[in-house]
Amino acid sequence: MESDLATLFKALGDPTRLRIFEFLRDCDCCSMAIGDCGDVRPADGPTVGEVCCRVTGLERINSTISHHIKELKNAGLITVERRGKNMICRINPEAIGKLAGYFN
């Protein structure tokens, strides 16, 4: 759960992670999540599995995505919370604020 700037930037510096991050951010802004590979439903955020099969151009094995999500979480960019069998992922607004402030 570090959050110094270099750590934040490093986490976003990998193309795969950046896509995941942007996907989560887009879900966040419209407060909808995309259902398990097809349908659409309102939700707190997409699950790890939804990230796996929904982030376009992302052809990565489950364990790889899980690893990247963990890294985003450790950097403090997102939060991950259990909801039944699933883990739902959300952007951490504080981190965004921190980054936004840095360039102004």
The mark string for 9-48 relative to DNA (x by CB under 7 A, - otherwise) is -x---x-xx------------------x----------xx
C-beta closer to its own copies: residue 18 or 43: 18
Amino acid at 2: E
- Paired sense of beta strands 78-83 and 40-42, if any: unpaired
The option from its own copies, DNA, none interacting with 60 (CB < 5 to 8 A, set by class) reads DNA
Asked if residue 80 lies in contact with residue 32, where contact means CB atoms within 8 angstroms, the answer is no
Asked if residue 89 lies in contact with residue 48, where contact means CB atoms within 8 angstroms, the answer is yes
The option from its own copies, DNA, none interacting with 70 (CB < 5 to 8 A, set by class) reads DNA
